[in-house]
């Protein structure tokens, strides 16, 4: 079961005016499950996106990048069960067919439809099934459909992931609601998974993109499950542009800072939810690195620890085999690191001081911390004032089982 994570309660995900969501069961890969999501946007909406940096990016990612540069999106279409990645020109053609069908249904141009896919790689997208499901998704459109939509985009996820936050700008309450999916092939180099966050405000696209870039850096770019960057990662931020909503058009304004805090609250929750629902996860782990020369080296060391199968299996076993952590620090690529200045804490238990084992350290104390579901590893480098963090999970027997049986 996910670590300290439950599905959103009914009614907890608030509607964003003008953003409607419709779900259908199209049998993309398996029958009798929600697997197509249609999201329609008002003409006033602005959209910002970040996408995987995997060079083998999926056909829908390629089209999304192209369409965002060419047009103002009016609809999103998401399917699960098939990633449409590693499918060459045929994959692009199939994704375009889906966009054309959605465009005809909602009354917009094909380039105003952004496609997204998640699932098995290198299999042809079943266009006929997805297109056949569009009328049902359209008939199901509703502004309060966020919870069912969160379930419709899941693959190996155990629970749906969603969050609403609010802020007050110019005396008006601004709603920010988001959903995400992902529990494996999770290592971002932008944002990992599929994620959609909408807000009730007027935000010019360049300002919205700047907000998204900043929020992504402090949320989805700080989470990893297994070190694998997906071919399909996409994260969209949508402002509905409602005429009555407050205008946020300057990055150095108090309004922008308020909106940033609300969007970040949603994004950080969703990012952490990915690790809490990591495939087979039994532990949620925060890795904090402090006293670095810059944030980049802090993140590099934190991710080196988070990616180590030896560290992750020790976490699963609640085994304070702490030499594995020191080894991961040492091979992180910080070439001028003086290990004599490194410190390590497991929760509140100090383990390493001045690069070596603390004489008063008692292994049973660290083992007790590692039996907990939520664990914090804190590393001090003794070479500056920068700090950063990464969220991850352990590797259990079930991680291997889930991935060994993924296509069955």
Active-site residue list: 192
H helices of 71-139, in order, are 88-106, 127-139
Residues 6 or more apart whose Cβ sits within 8 Å of residue 336: none
Cα distance between residue 271 and residue 138, in whole Å: 29
Edge-to-edge order in the sheet of strand 20-24: 20-24, 36-40, 75-82, 113-120
CA angle 157, 95, 40 (to 5 degrees): 70
Cα distance between residue 273 and residue 257, in whole Å: 24
Cα distances (Å, whole numbers) of residue 200 to 231, 243, 248, 322:
30, 10, 11, 47
- Could you tell me if residue 192 is left (phi over 0), alpha (psi between -120 and 50 degrees) or otherwise beta? beta
Q: Which is nearest to 290 in space by CA: 244, 250, 342, 327?
A: 342
CA angle 378, 384, 390 (to 5 degrees): 35
SS3 string of 234-294? EEEEEECCCCCCCECCCCCCHHHHHHHHHHHHHHHHHHHHHHHCCCCCCCEEEEEEEEECC
Cα distance between residue 114 and residue 76, in whole Å: 5
Give SS3 for 160: coil
């Amino acid at each position: 079961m996910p670590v300290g994570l439950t599905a959103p309660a009914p009614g907890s995900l608030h509607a964003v005016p003008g953003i409607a969501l419709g779900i259908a069961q199209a049998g993309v890969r398996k029958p009798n499950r929600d697997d197509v999501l249609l999201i329609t946007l008002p003409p006033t909406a602005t959209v910002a996106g970040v996408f995987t940096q995997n060079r083998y990016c999926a056909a829908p990612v390629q089209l999304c990048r192209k369409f965002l540069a060419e047009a103002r999106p009016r609809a999103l279409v998401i399917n699960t069960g098939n990633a449409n990645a590693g499918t060459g020109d045929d994959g692009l053609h199939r994704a375009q067919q889906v966009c054309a069908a959605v465009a005809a249904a909602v009354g917009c141009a094909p380039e105003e439809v952004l496609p997204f896919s998640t699932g098995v790689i290198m299999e042809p997208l079943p266009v006929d099934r997805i297109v056949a499901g569009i009328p049902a998704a359209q008939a199901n459109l509703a502004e309060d459909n966020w919870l069912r939509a969160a379930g419709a985009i899941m693959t190996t996820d155990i629970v749906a992931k969603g969050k609403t936050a609010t802020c007050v700008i110019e005396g008006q309450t601004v709603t920010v609601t988001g959903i995400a999916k992902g529990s494996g092939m999770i290592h971002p180099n932008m944002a990992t998974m599929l994620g959609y966050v909408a807000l009730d405000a007027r935000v010019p696209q360049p300002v919205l993109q700047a907000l998204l870039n900043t929020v992504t850096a402090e949320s989805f770019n700080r989470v990893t499950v297994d070190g694998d960057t997906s071919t399909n990662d996409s994260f969209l931020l949508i402002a509905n542009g409602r005429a009555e909503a407050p205008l946020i058009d300057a990055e150095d304004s108090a309004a922008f800072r308020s909106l940033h805090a609300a969007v970040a609250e949603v994004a950080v929750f969703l990012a952490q939810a990915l690790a809490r629902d990591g495939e087979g996860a039994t532990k949620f782990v925060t890795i904090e690195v402090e006293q670095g020369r810059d944030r980049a080296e802090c993140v590099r060391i934190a991710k080196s620890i988070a990616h180590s199968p030896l560290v992750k299996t020790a976490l699963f076993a609640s085994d304070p085999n702490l030499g594995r952590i020191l080894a991961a620090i040492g091979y992180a690529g910080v070439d001028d690191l003086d290990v004599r200045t490194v410190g390590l804490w497991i929760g509140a238990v100090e383990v390493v001081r001045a690069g070596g084992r603390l004489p008063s350290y008692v292994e049973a104390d660290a083992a007790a911390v590692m039996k907990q579901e939520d664990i914090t590893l804190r590393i001090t480098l003794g070479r500056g004032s920068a700090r950063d963090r990464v969220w991850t999970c352990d590797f259990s027997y079930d991680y291997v089982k889930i991935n060994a049986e993924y296509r069955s």
